Amino acid sequence: MISTRMKRASLAAAAAAGLIALAGCAGTSADETADGGAGADWPETLTYAIIPAESSSTIAQQQDKVIAALESELGLEVEIQEATSYASVIEALRAGQADIAGLGPFSYAVAVDSGVEITPLGAVVDAPDQEPGYVSYGIANPDSGIESIEDFAGKKVCFVDPTSTSGFLFPSAGLLEVGIDPEEGVEQVMVGSHDGSALSVADGTCDAGFAYDAMVDETLVESGQMEDGAVDVVWESEVIPGSPYVSNDALPQDLQDELARIFAEDLNVPALIEAGICDSAEDCPVPEEAEYGFIPVEDSLYDGIRAVCEVTKSESCVA
């Protein structure tokens, strides 16, 4: 864990490092038609960049069925690349080194508004008629004496990443609302992941911190990594629009269209069971532990993120 007041220069350095890690892993264009009916100009491999939301084992488990469905429907190999930061995913998309990516709402808005040409494919929900969304939790170690977000002042506070929606942007707005400067009013610790933030609060490395709701309520408890009640939830954000998965507009248009169709029709629990990819709903993990799967989303869903950027004036709102 690195304690820092991360500014634009260090963010750019992290992005460059992440981009180097991803470079050379992108799909290579094929002159011949790939198996499964792929177009002649489709790549042989799709590179799927994932944001650092949690541990590698959890990411692999939650993405396994999605990758199986994508490979079956497209006739292409899909290769996951776990990026080192949200910024590195943005830069990989910008440079054409990622074909598909999972982004946070904040990193998506930053990417689009800085000129990265991507199209939202979908976000996960618990029911097909539900609007995708979640909340950020402000959490505290039970021994810290912290009872509200006002008590974060002067404390050692864990954040996720400068371009994390629920791990930095909305928490910054919450702190500002109670008169605390998120840069100067607390001791920032950037841990790089939501599970890292919650676990650091639980073990006392940080007095308080931020992470998205399901990570605290479900993922860490159900995996046995954290006991129920190991942290106190002392603050909740307003509802944040669901994290979008995107395609790179550099891909052939017919491939982009097919990806949009697959995310809309095939990447949900009932469809995965019907396709034989899952045996049952109980054995069909999808990202973010959603109970249903993906539904389509539009860019306008993320206008609220842009509004919070206006409030916080965060340097991270500009890629």
Token output for 315: 């340097």
Q: What is the pLDDT of residue 176?
A: 96
Q: What is the pLDDT of residue 117?
A: 98
267-290 pLDDT tens trace = 999 999 999 999 999 999 999 889
- Those residues whose C-beta lies under 8 Å from the C-beta of residue 300, and which sit 6 or more positions away, are none
Q: What is the pLDDT of residue 57?
A: 56
Whether 20 shows a pLDDT value over 50: the answer reads: no
| Third-level CATH fold of 2-131+243-317 | D-Maltodextrin-Binding Protein; domain 2 (3.40.190)
Mean pLDDT value across the chain: 87
Nearest-angstrom CA–CA distance, 268 and 83: 25
Nearest-angstrom CA–CA distance, 193 and 191: 6
For β-strands 232-236 and 208-212, DSSP reports them as unpaired
pLDDT band at 258 (very low <50, low <70, confident <90, very high): very high
Lowest mean pLDDT among 48-57, 121-130, 292-301: 48-57
100, 245 Cβ separation under 8 angstroms: yes
Q: What is the pLDDT of residue 185?
A: 98
Q: What is the pLDDT of residue 51?
A: 74
Q: What is the pLDDT of residue 52?
A: 57
Token output for 291: 């109970």
Whether 237 shows a pLDDT value over 70: the answer reads: yes
Of residues 299 and 24, the one with the higher pLDDT is: 299
Whether 54 shows a pLDDT value over 50: the answer reads: yes
Nearest-angstrom CA–CA distance, 92 and 66: 21
Q: What is the mean pLDDT of residues 39-58?
A: 78
Indicate the domain borders of the chain.
2-131+243-317, 136-238
Q: What is the pLDDT of residue 17?
A: 45
Q: What is the dihedral of CA 189, 192, 198, 200, to 10 degrees?
A: -50
Q: What angle is formed at CA 189 by the lines to CA 235 and CA 230, rounded to 5 degrees?
A: 50
Q: What is the pLDDT of residue 84?
A: 80
Q: What is the pLDDT of residue 314?
A: 85
Q: What is the pLDDT of residue 101?
A: 96
Place of tokens 């676990």: 199
Q: What is the mean pLDDT of residues 75-83?
A: 92
Question: Does domain 136-238 fall into CATH 3.40.50.170?
Answer: no
Which SS3 state, helix, strand or coil, does residue 221 take?
helix
Reported pTM: 0.76
Q: What is the pLDDT of residue 12?
A: 38
**Residue 14 parent element (H or E):** helix 8-22
Whether 26 shows a pLDDT value over 70: the answer reads: no
Whose CA is closest to 100, among 132, 58, 69? 69
Whether 95 shows a pLDDT value over 90: the answer reads: yes
124-151 pLDDT tens trace = 999 999 999 999 999 999 999 999 999 9
For a pLDDT cut of 70, what percent of the chain falls above it? Answer: 85
What is the number of helices (H) and of strands (E) in the chain? 11, 14
Could you check whether 2-131+243-317 and 136-238 share the same CATH topology? Answer: yes
Of residues 284 and 314, the one with the higher pLDDT is: 284
Q: What is the mean pLDDT of residues 177-190?
A: 97
Q: What is the mean pLDDT of residues 29-42?
A: 56
* CB hemisphere CA count around 6 (13 angstroms): 25
pLDDT band at 319 (very low <50, low <70, confident <90, very high): low
